[in-house]
Amino acid sequence: MLFDTHAHLDDKRFDQDRDELIRGLPDRGVFRVICPGIDVESSQRCIELSEEYDIVYAGVGIHPHEASSAGEDYLESLRSMAAHKKVVAIGEIGLDYYYDFSPRDDQKRVFTEQIGLASEVGLPIIVHNRESHKDVLDILRSNKELLVGGVMHCYSGSWDMAKLFLDLGLYISLGGPVTFKNAKRPIEIAENIPLDRLLIETDSPYLTPVPHRGKRNDPGLVGLVAEKIAMIRGISVEEVRRVTSENAVSLFRAET
Ligand code: NI
């Protein structure tokens, strides 16, 4: 069975068929999905989905895109939401210097504050990192003592850089890009990463794997990510499914 560690099930692109889609996931081999929040409202919607569906768990957090619009009391809101029994992570949080939708100082402040919150409530972090590897690494390193584990989600950096995140005790998650024809770095990660530090995800509704590119992504397609990783490593897809699910259950303690 498959564990999709990152799917934005609250996204409006699922409004038409969300209930049917989520109810159909076990038949497509998916037994757990984490819905990470991108702001306070989205985090609340993820919690509501986790209450409605056994297989859904929630992350609560402020995405770097939303860093400058997070209200002054956002930490208060996240803190009270984090006490919910189906909240298994603070995320998604991090830095995004590709889009730069929020000023970098705001991104860094909100990222750092949420690492502190994760430490306080004892939850792992889900880290978004785009074109910001150095600053993400610097911030994580200077807060190393605070980390309660975490994952570099949809990791897009080099293997050399990945080793530095592994040194911090973090997991690396691969998604649809490992199936893309022009994939280089994700393939390098899939080849080299110790299996006990690997997670898989879809980042639905984005980053749809081959051969469905151009269509909406959904957690039922996470098996294609597992298949591609199995092919790259020359191991069975059953092993990739089993190991990545065990890793995710252990990191997020999302067992029951
Ligand atoms: Ni995401």
Q: In this predicted model, what pLDDT tens digit does every residue of 67-101 receive, in sequence order?
A: 999 988 999 999 999 999 999 999 999 999 999 99
Q: What is the mean pLDDT of residues 150-163?
A: 96
* Interval between CA 185 and ligand 1 midpoint (Å): 19
% residues pLDDT > 70 (the chain): 99
Q: What is the mean pLDDT of residues 189-210?
A: 98
* Interval between CA 202 and ligand 1 midpoint (Å): 9
* Interval between CA 6 and ligand 1 midpoint (Å): 6
> Tell me, what's the pLDDT at 36?
98
Q: Return the DSSP state at 147.
A: -
* Interval between CA 126 and ligand 1 midpoint (Å): 9
| Phi and psi angles of residue 37, each rounded to the nearest 5 degrees, phi first | -80, 155
* Interval between CA 179 and ligand 1 midpoint (Å): 18
Residue 7's DSSP bridge partners are 204
What is the CB neighbour count within 10 angstroms for residue 227? Answer: 15
Q: How far apart are CA 126 and CA 105, in angstroms?
A: 20
* Interval between CA 35 and ligand 1 midpoint (Å): 9
* Interval between CA 194 and ligand 1 midpoint (Å): 23
Q: What is the mean pLDDT of residues 109-120?
A: 98
% residues pLDDT > 90 (the chain): 98
Q: Inform me whether the pLDDT recorded for 162 exceeds 90.
A: yes
Q: How far apart are CA 187 and CA 6, in angstroms?
A: 19
Q: Inform me whether the pLDDT recorded for 255 exceeds 90.
A: no
Question: 49-79 burial by CB neighbour count: b if 16+ within 10 A, else e?
Answer: bbeebebbbbbbbbbbbbbeebeeebbebbe
Q: What is the mean pLDDT of residues 166-185?
A: 96
Ion ligand 1 neighbours, Cβ < 5 Å: 203
* Interval between CA 93 and ligand 1 midpoint (Å): 9
* Interval between CA 222 and ligand 1 midpoint (Å): 14
Q: Inform me whether the pLDDT recorded for 254 exceeds 90.
A: no
> Tell me, what's the pLDDT at 256?
52
Q: Inform me whether the pLDDT recorded for 149 exceeds 90.
A: yes
